[in-house]
């Protein structure tokens, strides 16, 4: 038997307009912990979806060898049959069902359709012991914390035959104790001969448990580092993750920055369901007229939650904090009030939160400012069409007419419609949340150009993005968020992906070492 358990050769996966994976090769040995690191969107999750059969054979190019045999998975069940089990970032547990029911969901301990609950609970108890959980097996999963739920997921994986366990950011939502427990478990599995692929943004934990570290960037494998020999430092890994050239992907702009227009002071927000979990901790930011302020951070850093909370408290439970415009406190306690005070928020999820997809372009453009196209609450169709046509031309929205249904537009054009809606609401402060997510390079450039124009007209722009090159390319000043806090503030000139990453990691490491609670 060879030493190599899994070999992926020359995997290429394209989506319309994007190459997500470009000739990626990955080799996982038996009984090793193999870490996969890279920025958001680098292609880690896509690679694991190829491996687990989410993208079936035929939808990608390349070859997968498992245990020396070529594998062509048609779906998840096919990969699970070989013992490849993936645990996704978003847990796939049914909250109302008990631990036992969840563990054997889809794999019920049944004979001729009749479940043997006694045997099921007994097996579940053994599995829980293996993963170090002492809750009773009939506890509903919703009563467990996130850490324990993660362990139930692992128990569920173990209930099947496992030879390769894939964990997609398993510790993202866990506290330090739970994370250590989980990582310890991976080491135990390793001793039993089970390999793990660990996707993580926490470089510290990758350093501590991984035998091999593979760095992915822009859909390509940059390098595979042998960590058992030692000498792989955090700096070394980060350099691999971000080391790409900034080419001319951003339009030039002469900044003309004025006075502070908008300011948020000591903003605190609790989780909407778990009252005692603070998601935003004492965040203060400000933005000046004509300035583009970037908020960098990884997913889950609290950027969207912060922005939505400021925009009419539309996320979480507001605890404390003040918002000021031109030095005077303003009321942003509801969305209409925030809009009235000149604040606009362009959502990161245009399909769910941005557009009424079944409605046409003009109806979407005017939705946030119907007063602007009506007299005494009676709409004027000619005025509405005039406004929509103007914005279509000025943002270069490509549609057959403003009466086209917005569901049929491309992602970039949908994003422009959402932007048009908020520009028509005439805000002074524009919060853009991941405005270029999922749109092609050309459309991105157009969005950047629009942002630059807005800034040159004196608007204050807050720009949230997970893509560091974009943050660096478009911002005048950058706040770095991590763990619901502002980890750093820096001028964009002189900042680099390394300095931002380091700020994020520093806060993460401090937290894991117990310096910051």
Partner 1 sequence: MTSQPALTPAPPPVAAGTEPSPGIVSVLRQNVRQYGMLVALVVIVAFFQFTTGGTMLRPQNVTNVFLQNGYIIAMALGMLLIIVSGHIDLSVGSVAAFTGAIAAVVMVNYKLDPTLAIIAALVVGGLIGAWQGFWVAYMRIPSFIVTLSGMLLFRGLTLFMLEGQPVGPFPQSFRSIASGFIPEPLGSIIDPFGADPLKVTTLLLAALLCVGLVMLDLRSRRDQVKYGFRVTPFGQFVAKNVILVVAIMYLAYRLSAFFGLPVVLAIVGVLIAFYMFITTRTVLGRRIYAVGGNAKAATLSGVKTKQMVFFTFVNMGVLSAVGGLISTARFNSATPKAGDGFELDVIAATFVGGASAYGGVGTVAGAVIGALVLGVLNIGMGLMGIGIDYQFAIKALVLLGAVFVDVRGKNKDS
Contact residues toward partner 1 (CB under 8 A) are 311-312, 314, 335-336, 338-339, 345, 347, 352-359, 363, 367-368, 370-374, 377-379, 381-383, 385-387, 389-401, 403, 407-408, 421, 423-426, 450, 453-454, 457, 459
CA-based angle 202:179:193, to the nearest 5? Answer: 95
- Cβ proximity of 434 and 464 under 8 Å: yes
HEC-encoded secondary structure of 439-485 = CCHHHHHHHHHHHHHHHHCCCEEEEECCCHHHHHHHCCEEEEEECCE
3-class SS shares of the chain: helix, strand, coil, % to 5? 35, 25, 35
In angstroms, what is the minimal distance from the CB of 415 to partner 1? 13
Q: How far is the CB of 17 from partner 1 (least distance, A)?
A: 19
Nearer to partner 1, 85 or 423 (CB): 423
Cα dihedral sign, 86-87-90-95: positive
CA gap 276, 14 in Å, rounded: 43
The upper half-sphere exposure of residue 315, i.e. CA atoms within 13 Å in the direction of its Cβ, equals 20
Which of helix, strand or coil describes residue 165?
strand
Residue closer to partner 1 by CB (options 43, 312) is 312
CA gap 47, 54 in Å, rounded? 10
Q: Which is nearer to partner 1, 460 or 490 (CB)?
A: 460
As measured in angstroms, the least distance from the Cβ of 433 to partner 1 is: 11
Q: Which residues of 181-200 are buried (b: 16+ CB within 10 A; e: fewer)?
A: bbbebbeebbeeebbbbbbb
As a whole number of angstroms, the distance between CA 28 and CA 196 comes to: 9
Q: What is the full DSSP assignment across 410-439? A: -HHHHHHHHHHHHHHT--SEEEEESTTTT-
Nearer to partner 1, 27 or 410 (CB): 410
- Of 177 and 352, nearer to partner 1 (C-beta) is 352
Q: Give the nearest distance from C-beta 383 to partner 1 in angstroms.
A: 8
Output the smallest distance, CB 299 to partner 1, in A: 20
DSSP codes joined into one string, 365-395: HHGGGGGGGEETTEE-HHHHHHHHHHHHHHT
Q: Residues near 85 by Cβ (< 8 Å), separated by ≥ 6?
A: 157, 160, 162, 164, 165, 166
Question: What CA–CA distance (Å, rounded) separates 298 from 288?
Answer: 24
Instruction: Write down the least CB distance from residue 315 to partner 1, Å.
Output: 10
- Give the chain's radius of gyration (CA, Å): 25
Of 247 and 400, CB closest to partner 1: 400
Closer residue to partner 1 in complex, CB, 136/426 = 426
* Residue 295, beta-bridge partner list: 464, 479
- Least spacing, CB of residue 356 vs partner 1, in Å: 4
Nearer to partner 1, 55 or 306 (CB): 306
- Of 358 and 517, nearer to partner 1 (C-beta) is 358
**Least Cβ distance, residue 399 to partner 1 (angstroms):** 7
Q: Which is nearer to partner 1, 289 or 503 (CB)?
A: 289
User: From the CB of 459, what's the least distance to partner 1, in Å?
Assistant: 8
Nearest approach, Cβ of residue 401 and partner 1 (Å): 5
């Amino acid at each position: 038997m060879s030493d190599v358990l899994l070999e992926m050769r020359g995997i290429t996966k394209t989506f319309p307009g994007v190459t997500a994976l470009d000739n990626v090769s990955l080799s996982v040995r038996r009984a090793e912990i193999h870490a996969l690191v890279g920025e958001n969107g680098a292609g880690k999750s896509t690679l694991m979806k190829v491996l687990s059969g989410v993208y079936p054979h035929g939808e990608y190019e390349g070859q997968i060898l498992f245990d020396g045999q070529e594998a062509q998975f048609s779906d998840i069940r096919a990969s699970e049959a070989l013992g490849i089990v993936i645990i996704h970032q978003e847990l796939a547990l049914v909250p109302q069902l008990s631990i036992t029911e969840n563990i054997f969901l889809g794999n019920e301990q049944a004979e001729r359709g009749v479940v043997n609950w006694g045997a099921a609970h007994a097996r579940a108890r053994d599995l829980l012991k293996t993963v170090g959980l002492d809750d009773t097996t009939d506890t509903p999963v919703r009563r467990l914390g996130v850490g324990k739920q993660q362990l139930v997921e692992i128990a569920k994986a173990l209930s099947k035959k496992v030879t390769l366990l894939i964990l997609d950011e398993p510790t993202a939502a866990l506290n330090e104790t739970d994370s250590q427990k989980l990582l310890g478990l991976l080491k135990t599995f390793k001793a039993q001969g089970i390999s793990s692929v660990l996707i993580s943004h926490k470089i510290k934990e990758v350093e501590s448990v991984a035998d091999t570290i593979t760095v992915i960037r822009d859909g390509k494998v940059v390098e595979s580092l042998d960590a058992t020999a030692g000498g792989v430092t955090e700096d070394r890994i980060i350099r691999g993750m971000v080391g790409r050239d900034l080419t001319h992907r951003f339009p030039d702009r002469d900044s003309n920055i004025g006075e502070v227009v908008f300011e948020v002071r000591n903003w605190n927000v609790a989780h909407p369901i778990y009252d005692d979990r603070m998601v935003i901790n004492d965040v203060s930011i400000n933005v000046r007229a004509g300035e583009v302020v970037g908020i960098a951070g990884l997913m889950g850093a609290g950027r969207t939650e912060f922005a939505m909370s400021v925009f009419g408290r539309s996320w979480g439970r507001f605890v404390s904090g003040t918002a000021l415009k031109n030095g005077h406190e303003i009321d942003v306690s509801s969305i209409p009030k925030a809009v009235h005070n000149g604040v606009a928020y362009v959502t990161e999820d245009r399909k769910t939160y941005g557009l009424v997809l079944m409605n046409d372009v003009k109806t979407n453009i005017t939705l946030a400012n119907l007063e602007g196209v009506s007299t005494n609450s009676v709409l004027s169709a000619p005025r509405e069409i005039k406004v929509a046509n103007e914005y279509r031309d000025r943002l270069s929205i490509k549609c057959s007419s403003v009466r086209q249904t917005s569901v049929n537009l491309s992602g970039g054009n949908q994003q422009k419609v959402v932007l048009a809606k908020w520009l028509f609401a005439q805000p002074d402060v524009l919060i853009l949340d991941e405005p270029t997510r999922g749109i092609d390079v050309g459309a991105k450039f157009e969005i950047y150009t629009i942002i630059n124009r807005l800034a040159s007209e004196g608007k204050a722009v807050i720009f949230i993005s997970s893509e560091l090159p974009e943050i660096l390319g478009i911002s005048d000043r950058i706040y770095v968020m991590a763990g619901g806090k502002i980890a750093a503030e820096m001028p964009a000139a002189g900042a680099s992906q390394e300095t931002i990453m380091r700020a994020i990691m520093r806060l993460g490491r401090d937290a894991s070492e117990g310096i910051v609670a």
